[in-house]
Amino acid sequence: NKATLNNAALNEAALNEATLNKATLNNAALNNAGLNKAALNEAALNEATLNKATLNNAALNKAALNKATLNKAALNNAALNKATLNNAALNKAALNKAALNEATLNKATLNNAALNNVALNKATLNNAALNKAALNEATLNKATLNNAALNNAGLNKATLNRATLNRATLYKATLNRATLNNAALNKAALNKADLNNAALNTATLNTATLNRATLNKAALNKATLNTATLNTATLNTATLNRATLKRATLNRATLNRATLNKATLNKATLN
């Protein structure tokens, strides 16, 4: 307890069920270390190296970890500033106010998570809940978000290249100047979503529901909206070049100064 391990090298160390309350590990190297059920409450691991470290059911409150493998780890209020988590597996991890790169977050809960300028390349977020999450200028290359709930999420200037958002719920989401290249939004619900100057190039919105969605100056080039429902949608100065709206239902839709160049509206219903 309250142990200070400066420049400590714990190679292949087994700290199973160890309790390190308020422990400080500066520049500590924990290579192939096994910390099963270890409790590191308010532990400071500054510039710590955890190569291939296994922390099963570990509780790391306010801990800073780089390149760690955390299965079922609980990282409440964890500070991962400029942390690099390459191929990190965080199964059932709770990361409140955490920042992650290239992580796999199965059933992860990220409440009030701030991911500014974060690169989530090839990140898989299954059943992830990102409530009030800030993903401003975030890069999500080939990211998969299955059943992701992004309520009040801010994705300003976010780049989602080839991102798949299956059954994603974006309630009151803010996507200002967001770029969604080749983004697939299958059965996505964008209720009261704000997509100002959003670029949805070659976007696929299958059975998407956009209730009271505001798409001001939105560019939907070659966008496919199959059976899309846009209730009371406002598309001011929207540009839909070569857009395909098959069996699209636009109830009370307002298209002020909308440009539909070479647009295809097959069996579209505009009530």
pLDDT at 139: 82
CB 265 within 8 A of CB 245: yes
Hey, CA dihedral for 204, 161, 169, 215, is it positive or negative? negative
Query: CA triplet 221, 102, 10: central angle to 5 degrees?
Result: 170
pLDDT at 197: 94
Question: What are the φ/ψ torsions at residue 211 (nearest 5 degrees)?
Answer: -85, 120
pLDDT at 14: 87
pLDDT at 242: 93
Domains detected in the chain: 1-81 (2.160.20.80), 110-271 (2.160.20.80)
pLDDT at 9: 82
pLDDT at 66: 64
CB 129 within 8 A of CB 111: yes
Nearest to 195 by CA among 164, 220, 218, 226: 218
Instruction: Record the pTM.
Output: 0.81
pLDDT at 207: 92
pLDDT at 114: 77
Distance CA 260, CA 180 (A): 20
Strands (DSSP E) contained in the chain are 39-41, 59-61, 74-75, 89-91, 94-95, 104-106, 124-126, 144-146, 164-166
pLDDT at 64: 67
Tally of residues, the chain: 271
User: pLDDT 10s per residue in the chain (271 long)?
Assistant: 777 778 888 888 888 988 888 888 888 888 888 888 888 888 777 777 777 777 888 888 777 676 667 778 878 887 676 666 766 778 888 788 776 766 767 887 888 887 878 778 777 888 988 899 888 888 888 888 899 889 999 999 998 999 889 999 889 999 999 999 999 999 999 999 999 999 999 999 899 999 999 999 999 999 988 999 989 998 899 998 999 989 999 899 888 998 889 988 899 888 8
Q: Is 190 exposed, middle or buried (0-12, 13-18, 19+ CB in 10 A)?
A: buried
